[in-house]
């Protein structure tokens, strides 16, 4: 066998081995071009399932016995009267949209949320899904984009009244004085460094903020174990989406104890904040002035969302209960 042939065979072997090793690294280490391949895979899967390319997880097949109507009232005798707002994807306009219905299911109004018009550069974290969201009495909206780059207040015609930059996510709650509380992530809603921000509803201007790590956890000393971490834990800052294992807290709600309800909760005071952390199955009542927890509980819920102070003196919690495969609302 000639030396030239040996060289060619060796080169082919080394090239094949290199391709194999790099391909393994792409799959295991998610290095370039893993994200591109994943996007192509998801696009092909979406087209095969739905006949169009949609963001991952946006469209799902309904259960075989699911209603085929947009609005279904199963127990009208138990339904509260009033107005309802639903937020979701509108296949007709190809935008996220909010719809206003009366209690009978009649559509009264809608707002189209065109993220591209608000932020032509597009969402830095890959999704323009609106979150958080609130409707105000004048039919304007305050809406954030948890994987995008801004929070806005839109008038009744969905025209911006003000815009503020940042990864605002999961919840926006009235403080009862014209201001609002929300969560802001440091570059990403699932980042380690998250901030509870109070802002003026008329201008969007920040009034104050509380750093979950700097102002709460690191100031608690050994009591920081409430959150599952030592105060000297080396938390990270991220320039891109953190891996699921780095979602240490998953803060997903902030509720306010209003003055007219405070007497129902003698251990707390008006203005106290009820916070939810899904990763730890933890809810906390925080004093926004001292930044100290007044009360906390891990469970009996699992990966919960939406704890609320209620007017009967209990706290309600939406228990996602992922392992039990059955969600429910608990009161304690």
The Cα 42–Cα 99 span in angstroms is 29
In a shared domain, residues 175 and 305: yes
The burial of 104, by beta-carbon neighbours within 10 Å (0-12 exposed, 13-18 middle, 19 or more buried), is given as exposed
Mean pLDDT by 10-residue block, N- to C-terminus, for the chain (332 residues)?
68 73 70 78 83 77 81 84 91 91 90 94 90 94 94 96 96 96 94 97 97 96 92 89 89 97 96 97 97 95 95 95 84 92
Give a yes or no: residue 326 inside a domain.
yes
In a shared domain, residues 181 and 44: no
Of 33, 50, 67, the domain-final residue:
50
Contacts of 68 (CB under 8 A, 6+ apart): none
In a shared domain, residues 40 and 175: no
> Do residues 186 and 195 touch, judged by C-beta distance below 8 A?
yes
Burial 116-144 (b: 16+ CB within 10 A, else e): eebbeeebebebbbbbbbbbeeeebbbbb
Helix axes 34-50, 3-29, angle to 10 degrees: 70
309 sits in which H/E element: strand 305-309
The Cα 91–Cα 98 span in angstroms is 13
In a shared domain, residues 170 and 45: no
pLDDT at 26: 65
Give a yes or no: residue 34 inside a domain.
yes
Give a yes or no: residue 82 inside a domain.
no
116 sits in which H/E element: helix 115-118
Give a yes or no: residue 45 inside a domain.
yes
pLDDT at 172: 97
Peptide bond into 193 cis (omega under 30): no
Owning domain of residue 7: 3-50
The burial of 75, by beta-carbon neighbours within 10 Å (0-12 exposed, 13-18 middle, 19 or more buried), is given as exposed
In a shared domain, residues 37 and 171: no
Q: How many domains does the chain have?
A: 2
Give a yes or no: residue 180 inside a domain.
yes
In a shared domain, residues 172 and 305: yes
**Count of H-run helices and E-run strands, the chain:** 3, 18
> Do residues 171 and 199 touch, judged by C-beta distance below 8 A?
no
Give a yes or no: residue 246 inside a domain.
yes
> Do residues 305 and 253 touch, judged by C-beta distance below 8 A?
yes
Give a yes or no: residue 117 inside a domain.
no
Give a yes or no: residue 150 inside a domain.
no
The Cα 292–Cα 217 span in angstroms is 9
């Amino acid at each position: 066998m000639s030396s030239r042939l040996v060289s060619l065979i060796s080169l082919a072997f080394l090239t094949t081995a290199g391709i194999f090793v790099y391909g393994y690294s792409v799959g295991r280490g998610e290095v370039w071009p893993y994200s591109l391949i994943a996007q192509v895979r998801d696009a092909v899967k979406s087209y095969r399932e739905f006949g169009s390319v949609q963001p991952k997880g946006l469209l799902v097949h309904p259960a075989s016995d699911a209603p085929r109507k947009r609005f279904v009232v199963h127990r009208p005798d138990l339904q509260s009267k009033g107005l309802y707002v639903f937020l979701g994807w509108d296949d007709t306009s190809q935008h996220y949209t909010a719809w206003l219905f009366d209690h009978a299911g009649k559509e009264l109004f809608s707002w189209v949320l065109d993220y591209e018009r608000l932020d032509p550069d597009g969402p830095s974290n890959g999704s323009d899904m609106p979150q958080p969201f609130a409707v105000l009495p004048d039919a304007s909206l305050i809406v954030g984009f948890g994987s995008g780059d801004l929070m806005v207040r839109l008038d009744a015609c969905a025209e911006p009244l003000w815009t503020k930059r940042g990864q605002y996510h999961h919840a926006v709650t009235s403080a009862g004085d014209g201001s609002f509380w929300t969560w802001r992530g440091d570059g990403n809603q699932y980042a380690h460094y998250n901030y509870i921000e109070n802002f003026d509803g008329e201008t969007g201007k920040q009034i104050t903020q509380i750093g979950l790590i700097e102002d709460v956890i690191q100031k608690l000393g050994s009591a920081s174990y409430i959150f599952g971490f030592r105060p000297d834990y080396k938390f990270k800052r991220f320039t891109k989406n953190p891996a699921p294992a780095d979602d240490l807290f998953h803060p997903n709600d902030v509720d306010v104890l209003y003055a007219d309800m405070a007497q129902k909760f003698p251990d707390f005071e008006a203005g106290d904040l009820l916070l939810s952390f899904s990763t730890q199955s933890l809810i906390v009542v925080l004093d926004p002035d001292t930044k100290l927890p007044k009360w906390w509980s891990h469970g009996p819920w699992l990966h919960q969302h939406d704890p609320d102070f209620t007017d009967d003196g209990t706290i309600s919690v939406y228990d996602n209960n992922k392992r039990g495969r059955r969600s429910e609302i608990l009161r304690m």
